[in-house]
Structure 1
């Protein structure tokens, strides 16, 4: 699998309502990956408009904190 780039999760934008991380794609759209995909160990964010993919670099503890915060809020 060939990635366009490797991006730290801290450089991505998180939408708490949609529980999705995004990052600008060169095509003008945004790479997307859900919090739950990351929690399942997935690290590939895809752009819905083109064939580019990025690898998301993150610590599992960071994702665990986000998912626990959601569980407490519910």
Structure 2
């Protein structure tokens, strides 16, 4: 596996509920991206679509609960149906 550029705490990322994605500024001018679904599956590497840099996102699985609530899904990744 390639080396990561940096390790970033989940609290330092920006969550975009409409895209269900976390982002973080990349030195190239674009942004690192990682999907909430990927994080629920245990993924922790966010990549920049414009360059080869990657960051390691530091989080615990329970940290994702609040973001799941924002988009209406349970922690398993299933979309919740509300009455």
Distance (Å, rounded) in 2 between the aligned partners of 1:22 and 1:66: 13
For the pair shown, the structure with the greater C-alpha radius of gyration is 2
List per-residue Cα deviations over 1:12-49 (Å, max 9, x = no partner): 00001101000000000000000001000000000000
Check conservation: 1:25, 1:31, Cα contact below 8 A: yes
* RMSD of aligned residue pairs (Cα, Å): 1.4
TM-score, reference length from structure 1: 0.90
Question: If each structure's helix is expressed as a fraction of its own residues, which one has the higher value?
Answer: 1
Are 2:18 and 1:17 equivalent residues in the alignment?
A: yes
Q: Is the 8 A contact 1:39 1:64 kept in 2?
A: no
When normalised by structure 2's length, the TM-score is 0.81
- How far, CA to CA, are the matches of 1:34 and 1:73 in structure 2? 21
Structure 1 regions of 5+ residues with no counterpart? none
Q: Which runs of 5+ in 2 are unaligned?
A: 74-79
Whole-Å separation in 1 of the counterparts to 2:54 and 2:81: 32
The residue that corresponds to 2:76 in the other structure is none
Q: Which runs of 4+ in 1 moved over 4 A?
A: none
